[in-house]
Structure 1
Amino acid sequence: MFRLKPGIKSDPVKRWNLSERVFFACGACHILAYAFLEAYPEHGFQAVWIRPVEGFTGNHVFVSDGKTAFDFHGYRCKEALIAHHWAKGRLWWPGWDGTLVPLPQDVLISEAKSKTYDGLWLREPGQFLHDALPRARAFLRRFAAPPDARREPLSRMGEGQG
């Protein structure tokens, strides 16, 4: 989780010029999740929205197969990702809390479909300064394919790459 300086999210040029990790942490995490699901449909991952309780900020979308999670950090266990997000949220906003909401893949790239989830509003890839999907695909290529839980433990999968 990152906190941007005021005004960056509302300035398309400044937002686009963020580093890859910050760009995919602060407002384009859902595009990265979509690129992951598109690239690895056979691995059983699903998008998950961390939805802050009313009155708080700190939304995030990641993908998980129930044990392993992937977001701008790379691979790690789902519980570690959630614990990190909750710890940061509570550090920056006392009383912060949230819920986990599964999302269908098509919601990740549709503003209209995202708005059918109470409190969710996601930009489409083309609603950034440039199409964000090619950028997400390129960032995703920095990481290995998802670990196969039956053959390769997460600890050997380049956890925290990127």
Structure 2
Amino acid sequence: MGGPLMSWFAAVLTRTGDRWSAEETDITDCESLIDLGEVLRDREGEVRLLVIEQDDEYAAIIRLDDDADDPRAFLSEGHAADAYPMAAIVAEDLLEIGDGDEDEVLLDPDAPPAHDSAPFGDPEIVEDLGTSAADLLAMCAHAGTLPVDLLVAVCEKAGCGEAFEDLRG
């Protein structure tokens, strides 16, 4: 999906015990949320996250738990799916996978192709790592918060802020 204009940052964050590791990863060949989940499936760890940020426009968090067949995902900005193919992959697959959870913020399947600006997916994706759904959604709504700031805040609360910052540095 990548091309000369695709300039995203993608990293895999894994935790074993209380030790986090972070590594940049290539998602160029991923064409679905399932493909993004496969990036995590091969990694060791009790917690496995894939974080994506592109052009200060959106952040995506993909999580694959050991007991899950499908990855969970959260996209910070729905409009990004209109302009960024990787955001569109996450958005469209969230619509297809949807677990029927009434609290989940999903796009209306009958809506026109343009995506709502609201974040959607699973806002509880990192709740057990210290960032509540309400806090995650509030950061997305805050006018001065960049997508990378959201990822840094999530990582700091989870205990992997230093590993994430070293990778981005």
TM-score (normalizing by structure 1): 0.32
Which structure has the highest helix share of the two? 1
Which structure has the highest strand share of the two? 2
TM-score (normalizing by structure 2): 0.32
Higher RCO structure (Cα 8 Å, ≥6 apart): 1
